[in-house]
C-alpha cells in the first residue's frame, strides 16, 4: 500500500465493510487498535470521508456502550436524504464539497456522467471567479441547492 496514508487505508477498510452490508456498526477504539492509531484518527476519517455529501449517514453514540454506525444511502430511495443534503450545504459550498455531491448523485444514478460534467463546469472556481471566495461559495451553494431541489421534485 505504498503511497497511501493511514486515513486512506482506514477509509478503504471501512468501505469494504460497508460494501458487504451497506451498514456497519463499529467501535472507534476497536478500529483504532486494529490500525494502531488514536481514536481521533478514526473520527477524522469518518468526519471527512463518510459525509452526507459522499452518500453516507453517520450516527454516533459515545460512552461505554458507544458505537459509530455508518450507512451507505441511496438518495432516490429517501427524499429526506436530499433534504438533509440541502441543509448540509447551508450558505456556502466549496468546489471540493460540490464535486463530492455530484459524484454521489452519479453513483446513485440521479444524474448522468454528461450531466455531472455540465454541473462541474458550472460550479468550477474559474466559472465563479468574482474575486470574493465567500460569494463564490454562496453562488456554488445556490446552484447545487437548485439542482437538488429539481431532483427532489422530479417525477
Give me the residue spans of the domains in the chain. Answer: 6-72, 79-153
Question: How far, in whole angstroms, is CA 49 from its chain's centroid?
Answer: 6
- Say if 6-72 and 79-153 have the same CATH topology: no
Residue owning grid cell 454541473: 119
Tens digit of pLDDT per residue, the chain (155 long)? 455 799 999 999 999 999 888 789 998 889 999 999 998 899 899 999 998 878 888 988 876 667 899 988 776 666 777 788 888 898 999 999 999 999 988 888 888 999 999 999 999 999 999 999 999 999 999 999 999 888 876 63
CATH number for the domain formed by residue range(s) 79-153: 1.10.1200
> The C-alpha cell of 100 is what?
463530492
- Domain 6-72 adopts which CATH fold? Phenylalanyl-tRNA Synthetase; Chain B, domain 1 (3.30.56)
| Percent helix, strand and coil across the chain, each to the nearest 5 | 60, 10, 30
Q: What is the pTM of this model?
A: 0.62
pLDDT at 1: 46
> The C-alpha cell of 91 is what?
450558505
The Cα–Cα gap between 131 and 153 comes to 34
**H/E/C letters for each residue in 52-116?**
HHHCEEEEEECCCCCEEEEEECCCCCCHHHHHHHHHHHCCCCCHHHHHHHHHHHHHCCCCCHHHH
Amino acid at each position: 500500500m505504498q503511497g497511501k496514508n493511514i486515513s486512506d487505508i482506514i477509509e478503504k477498510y471501512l468501505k469494504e465493510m460497508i460494501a458487504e452490508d451497506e451498514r456497519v456498526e463499529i467501535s472507534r477504539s476497536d478500529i483504532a487498535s486494529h490500525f494502531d492509531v488514536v481514536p481521533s484518527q478514526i473520527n477524522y476519517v469518518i468526519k471527512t470521508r463518510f459525509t452526507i455529501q459522499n452518500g453516507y449517514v453517520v450516527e454516533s453514540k459515545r460512552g461505554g456502550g458507544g458505537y459509530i454506525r455508518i450507512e451507505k444511502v441511496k438518495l432516490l430511495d429517501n427524499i429526506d436524504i436530499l433534504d438533509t443534503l440541502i441543509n448540509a450545504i447551508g450558505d456556502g459550498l466549496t468546489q471540493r464539497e460540490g464535486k463530492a455531491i455530484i459524484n454521489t448523485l452519479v453513483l446513485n444514478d440521479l444524474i448522468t456522467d454528461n450531466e455531472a460534467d455540465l454541473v462541474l463546469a458550472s460550479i468550477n472556481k474559474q466559472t465563479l471567479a468574482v474575486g470574493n471566495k465567500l460569494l463564490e461559495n454562496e453562488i456554488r451553494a445556490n446552484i447545487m441547492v437548485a439542482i437538488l431541489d429539481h431532483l427532489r421534485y422530479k417525477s
